[in-house]
């Protein structure tokens, strides 16, 4: 089970910059009562562990016979799969098949590079869009669709769609062209969908047993409603981050995992936190980081810069290998002292030393501890962070599942690209360009 250490956020530890345990408990209990009343249907993501995996497994078995697997999606439809790929199958394309490419942007150069590497005849393309209406994903889908057709390949053999169970463009095309289709449950929205077929399909394609991820998520989900705060670290984390903003004015959350394999977890978390909480003038700014790398680029700012941050460490107790540092150069102290230790030891010591330095400097920090990186712990951390985010949104009294602020930009893009019904937005863009 992953653990939370919140001692370095308490006033007992860091003085007046900290928060009393009493305040944390009051708001943690409030978060539990809010989530237990299930005010939004989108909280259904909590029960994704109940899903039937048979179709996912059947399609993944077929997918493993391809040489290449291209995933098209963006935001919540791509970042979770990226974490699964990098955390659970690091350097995958150098070692295993199918080679996986996650094309989540419409950068034409990235597209060209992928096309140069893959052979379409041996490629399965997973198009992921809950709405089936996202311009970036649909544009890249159209290009792949045309190329598959131009090569006279069977679209049924080269596409799998992951989309809404009832509606949208992808659902319609799946029915018309008999394309295999996986469903994202109706009430599960993009950034809370990693444990739906959005993420578990890729996991299975990589040969990862997704039921381990779901079993882990179940354990976390069940604890999310427990009023025993020792069993409910999600409520304690949500309360701590909420109070750090509301009471102490700390408006930046630095997310700092100590493992290269969790670098994209920072990106995934930042999207989850920003898009869920940044509304009605509320929310805090997530800031993706990586230990130990960013100790050499950002730590100075965290130690002596403005008093506006909370650091969230993600520490990994055991990495999959230790790698001993050899004992050499006994007469040069700068090299001698490293010999006989391991890289794992150095990584974990750097994390501890940074945490201590921040605490000694009265900078609030939380620590989430993963025993290892494996499907189980990744399932747990996904569900842990999703529940913390939803609870924090409920404490802010905002809806953590919508994103009204991104609609205007989408509408203006539709107008500029000539989508019917968005003519006035098209005119607005023209006027803007004339300024």
The region of 54-62, 123-131, 321-329, 386-394 touching ligand PA5 under the rule CB under 6 A is 123-131
For ligand PA5, the closer of residues 339 and 405 by Cβ is 405
What is the footprint of ligand PA5 within residues 392-431 (CB under 6 A)?
403
According to the binding rule CB under 6 A, does residue 288 interact with ligand PA5?
no
CA proximity to 160, closest of 195, 126, 200, 133: 126
According to the binding rule CB under 6 A, does residue 283 interact with ligand PA5?
no
CA within 13 Å, CB half, 267: 19
CB of 385 to ligand PA5, least distance (A): 14
Radius of gyration of the chain (CA): 23
What is the footprint of ligand PA5 within residues 258-277 (CB under 6 A)?
275
296 is catalytic: yes
What is the footprint of ligand PA5 within residues 50-89 (CB under 6 A)?
74-77
| 8 A C-beta contact, residue 277 and residue 390 | no
CB of 387 to ligand PA5, least distance (A): 16
Compose the 337-376 pattern: x for residues touching ligand PA5 by CB under 6 A, - for all others.
----------------------------------------
Catalytic member of 275, 309, 319, 367: 275
Q: How far, in Å, CA of 250 to CA of 422, rounded?
A: 40
CB of 238 to ligand PA5, least distance (A): 19
| 8 A C-beta contact, residue 290 and residue 265 | no
What is the footprint of ligand PA5 within residues 164-193 (CB under 6 A)?
189-191
According to the binding rule CB under 6 A, does residue 158 interact with ligand PA5?
no
For ligand PA5, the closer of residues 259 and 389 by Cβ is 389
For ligand PA5, the closer of residues 74 and 395 by Cβ is 74
For ligand PA5, the closer of residues 138 and 373 by Cβ is 138
What is the footprint of ligand PA5 within residues 190-209 (CB under 6 A)?
190-191
Catalytic member of 230, 296, 330, 434: 296
CA proximity to 380, closest of 179, 134, 195, 178: 195
CB of 401 to ligand PA5, least distance (A): 8
| 8 A C-beta contact, residue 311 and residue 298 | no
According to the binding rule CB under 6 A, does residue 257 interact with ligand PA5?
no
CB of 370 to ligand PA5, least distance (A): 24
According to the binding rule CB under 6 A, does residue 140 interact with ligand PA5?
no
Tell me which of 134, 183, 196, 386 binds ligand PA5, using CB under 6 A. Answer: 134
CB of 191 to ligand PA5, least distance (A): 3
For ligand PA5, the closer of residues 196 and 239 by Cβ is 196
Size of the site for ligand PA5 (CB under 6 A): 14
Catalytic member of 282, 341, 410, 419: 410
- Determine whether 316 is exposed, middle or buried from the number of CB atoms within 10 Å of its CB (0-12, 13-18, 19+): buried
For ligand PA5, the closer of residues 86 and 275 by Cβ is 275
CA proximity to 292, closest of 232, 344, 363, 235: 344
According to the binding rule CB under 6 A, does residue 389 interact with ligand PA5?
no
CB of 140 to ligand PA5, least distance (A): 11
410 is catalytic: yes
Looking at beta carbons, which residue is closest to ligand PA5?
Answer: 190
**How far, in Å, are 36, 68, 127 from residue 264 at the CA level?**
30, 21, 20
**How far, in Å, are 164, 302, 312, 381 from residue 395 at the CA level?**
29, 26, 19, 21
| Positions marked catalytic | 275, 296, 410
Q: List residues binding ligand PA5 (CB under 6 A).
A: 74-77, 129-131, 134, 137, 189-191, 275, 403
């Amino acid at each position: 089970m992953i653990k939370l250490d919140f001692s370095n956020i308490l006033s007992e530890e860091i003085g007046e910059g900290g928060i009393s345990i009493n305040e944390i408990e009051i708001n943690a209990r409030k978060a539990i009562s809010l989530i237990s009343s299930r005010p939004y249907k989108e909280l259904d993501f909590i029960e994704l562990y109940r899903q039937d995996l048979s179709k996912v497994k059947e399609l993944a078995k077929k997918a493993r016979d391809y040489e290449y697997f291209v995933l098209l999606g963006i935001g919540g439809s791509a970042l979770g799969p990226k974490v699964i790929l990098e955390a659970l199958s690091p350097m995958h394309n150098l070692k295993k098949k199918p080679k996986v490419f996650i094309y989540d942007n419409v950068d034409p150069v990235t597209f060209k590079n992928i096309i140069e590497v893959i052979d379409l005849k041996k490629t399965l393309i997973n198009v992921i869009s809950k709405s089936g209406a996202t311009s970036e994903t649909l544009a890249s889908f159209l290009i792949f669709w045309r190329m598959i057709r131009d090569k006279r390949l069977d679209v049924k053999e080269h596409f799998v769609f992951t989309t809404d169970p009832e509606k949208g463009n992808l659902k319609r095309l799946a029915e018309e062209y008999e394309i295999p289709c996986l469903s994202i449950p109706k009430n599960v929205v993009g950034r809370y969908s990693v444990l739906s077929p959005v993420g578990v399909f890729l996991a299975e394609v990589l040969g990862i047993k997704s039921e381990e991820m779901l079993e882990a998520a179940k354990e976390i989900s069940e604890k999310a409603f427990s009023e025993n705060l020792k069993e409910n670290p999600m409520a304690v984390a949500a309360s701590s981050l909420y109070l750090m903003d509301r009471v102490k004015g700390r408006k930046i959350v630095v997310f700092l995992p100590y493992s290269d394999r969790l670098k994209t977890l920072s990106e995934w978390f930042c999207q989850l936190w920003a898009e869920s909480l940044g509304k009605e003038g509320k929310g805090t700014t997530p800031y993706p980081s990586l230990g130990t790398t960013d100790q050499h680029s950002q730590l100075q700012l965290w130690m002596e810069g403005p008093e506006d941050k909370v650091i969230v460490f993600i520490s990994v107790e055991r990495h999959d290998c230790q790698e001993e540092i050899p004992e050499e150069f006994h007469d040069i102290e700068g090299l001698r002292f490293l010999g006989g230790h391991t890289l794992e030891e150095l990584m974990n010591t750097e994390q501890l030393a940074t945490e201590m330095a921040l605490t000694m400097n009265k900078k609030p920090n939380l620590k989430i501890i993963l025993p290892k990186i494996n499907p189980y712990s990744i399932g747990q951390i996904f569900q842990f962070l999703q529940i913390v985010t939803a609870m924090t949104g409920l404490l802010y009294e905002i809806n953590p599942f919508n994103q009204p602020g991104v609609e205007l930009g989408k509408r203006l893009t539709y107008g500029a690209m000539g989508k019917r019904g968005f003519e006035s937005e098209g005119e607005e863009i023209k006027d803007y360009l004339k300024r």
